[in-house]
Chains A and B, each alone.
Chain A
Amino acid sequence: AQSVTQPDIHITVSEGASLELRCNYSYGATPYLFWYVQSPGQGLQLLLKYFSGDTLVQGIKGFEAEFKRSQSSFNLRKPSVHWSDAAEYFCAGGYQKVTFGTGTKLQVIP
């Protein structure tokens, strides 16, 4: 069955520190992969997407993600976190029927 796993439920980082959020997928073939961000009480905003080609994908707000087929991973990274990045982050995969992970809640401390 198709699935997306986010192993970290909650992550705390200091402002200015680097960030990596983990995502693993299980699909028969390489799916479309996405990262979304959700602020409290809001919908989801698309940060970046991977369809094919260059495995390092640049997104909005300074985020990037790297697709690694050998590890079935699509981890999200940011070199320097800002307090406004505190939110919940969802990894997702699929074509028409998109499957979401359970999310990672990011806390940023001063």
Chain B
Amino acid sequence: DAGVTQSPTHLIKTRGQQVTLRCSPKSGHDTVSWYQQALGQGPQFIFQYYEEEERQRGNFPDRFSGHQFPNYSSELNVNALLLGDSALYLCASSLKPDQPQHFGDGTRLSIL
């Protein structure tokens, strides 16, 4: 039973570029949430997708956007990258929006 899988594992971009991160939820899960974890910090909630719609959003600018596909997989897009966007981006999936979340190993994004 595959858990939450994220791709790529590592990514290097430069300021101003755009990036897309991908997430496949755990089998049977229909809800995907995205978090940003800066070095030495706890994860910060970005947004949650359920039924292909953004249901909850944290305190992140519009440069951060997402999408959920009919197969429940999800993408996180970040435009106009800033140095401060360097972080570990974690995807979490759950059976429903208010159920415990299971995390992937994350994508490490470095901005030069």
Contacts and interface: CB of A to CB of B under 8 A. Distances in A.
Contact of B42 (A45, A49, A100): A100
B56 A96 contact: yes
A98 interface: yes
Contact of A46 (B44, B98, B102, B104): B102
B105 A42 contact: yes
Interface residues of A, number: 21
A36 interface: yes
B100 A49 contact: yes
Contact of B4 (A43, A101, A103): A43
A36 B104 CA distance: 13
Interface in A53-81: none
A77 to B, nearest CB: 20
Given A43-B4, A44-B90, A99 B45 contact: yes
A43 B105 contact: yes
B73 interface: no
A32 B105 contact: no
A34 B55 contact: no
5 contacts: A42-B106, A43-B90, A43-B103, A49-B100, A101-B42
